[in-house]
Amino acid sequence: MKKAFITGITGQDGYYLTKFLLDKGYEVHGTIRRSSSINTSRIDSLIADYQKEGSLKLYYSDLLDSSSLYSLINKINPNEVYNLAAQSHVAVSFVNPVYSTQTGTVGSVSLLEAIKNVNNDIKFYQASSSEMYGGGVQSSLNEESPFDPKSPYAASKVFAHNMTKIYRDSYEMFSVNGILFNHESPHRGETFVTRKITRAATRISLGIQSKLILGNLDASRDWGFAGDFIEGMWMMMQYETPEDWVLATGKTYTVRDFLDLTFKKLELNWEDYVETSERYIRPNEVDYLLGDPSKANEKLGWEPKTNFEELVDLMIESDLNLAKREEVLLKEGLIQPTWESNN
């Protein structure tokens, strides 16, 4: 049985990757940060199904605790390590730049060092990001396109990306970078713009939210489905040689496009409910990102299976169910509409 070690297992990508690997018969080990509140909600269903039988094991650890990461790698001796953990919200990285850059840099080097010293045959996946490109060109971006980071988050990702390449070249390690363009799902965090839109639109359709406040509606992104991208991650790790890979759909849409499609599917006009505010504009905005996944298409045989409209449908269906439950709880007086004040 193959063993995988995942940092960031409780995030969107962690959920989909864990489910994918468990379905393939892996034994999955993952780290969670110790906190005063339980933060495993995304993977609770997987914990219920797999933890008792021993194929899913969780450990308290932190990317800034290099000794803990070394001990876990040494104890588990996994076949594959997936470094998905980070402070992943670009806007938050401007507010907390020190923590954001530390988690993005120290953690990757700590894992690479642990693998080098424990077992050089362990494969390593680094979650790079399309934000590294900076969005300065109105053309598709591939593995050879130059980086021009526009945020602390993106800068930390460039560092981790380069260190992954350095360890690959210097120590003959199987270390790969997956440069993933935006990938969304019903498990996306609610502060990310796509999920913010589908959560608000479904509540508005039921009359339990009055408006939605956003920032730059003209920002253009290459949006895919997280479940499709996770399979691409795994395919990179099975390839004969360690390389860097872009995963994207090759199509780009604006925030306005996402709004329009979401509200239309709920038979609403978004312009009646959406306002814009300067407080949601980044200090250094990335206006346009479009990926070129040709290399992954040709060499891995990877293709996105879910198109833009299908992605929006998935997110609306899930969030409409959540909104209906909230509607019942509101009528019973069991919750307050805190999303109105947090909007």
Domains of the chain plus CATH, in order, are 3-184+222-247 (3.40.50.720), 193-221+253-286+307-342 (3.90.25.10)
- Of the candidates 153, 167, 253, 273, the residue annotated as catalytic is 153
Catalytic residue status for 167: no
Tens of pLDDT along 130-168? Answer: 999 997 777 899 999 999 999 889 999 999 999 999 999
- Of the candidates 129, 130, 145, 151, the residue annotated as catalytic is 129
Catalytic residue status for 131: yes
Helix or strand (DSSP H, E) at 60: strand 56-60
* Confidence check: pLDDT of 342 > 80: no
Catalytic residue status for 253: no
- Of the candidates 131, 184, 243, 326, the residue annotated as catalytic is 131
- For 232: left if phi > 0, alpha if psi spans -120 to 50, otherwise beta; the answer is alpha
| Cα 94 from chain centre | 18
Instruction: Name the nearest CA neighbour of 205 among 330, 332, 321, 334.
Output: 321
DSSP string covering 198-256, please? Answer: HHHHHHHHTTS---EEES-TT-EE--EEHHHHHHHHHHHHHSSS--EEEE--S--EEHH
Q: What number of residues does the chain have? A: 343
* Confidence check: pLDDT of 36 > 50: no
- Quick one: pLDDT at residue 38? 59
Find the radius of gyration of the CA atoms of the chain: 20
Query: pTM here?
Result: 0.94
Contact 67, 39 (CB under 8 A): no
Tens of pLDDT along 273-330? Answer: 999 988 888 777 788 999 999 999 999 999 999 999 999 999 999 999 999 999 999 9
169 DSSP 8-state letter: H
- Residue spans of alpha helices (H) in the chain: 12-23, 44-50, 66-76, 90-95, 97-118, 152-171, 193-205, 226-238, 255-265, 294-295, 308-331, 338-342
| Angle at which helices 308-331 and 255-265 cross, to 10° | 60
Work out whether strand 80-83 and strand 123-129 pair parallel, antiparallel, or are unpaired: parallel
Helix or strand (DSSP H, E) at 184: strand 183-184
Tens of pLDDT along 45-93? Answer: 888 877 777 899 999 988 888 999 999 999 999 999 999 988 777 778 8
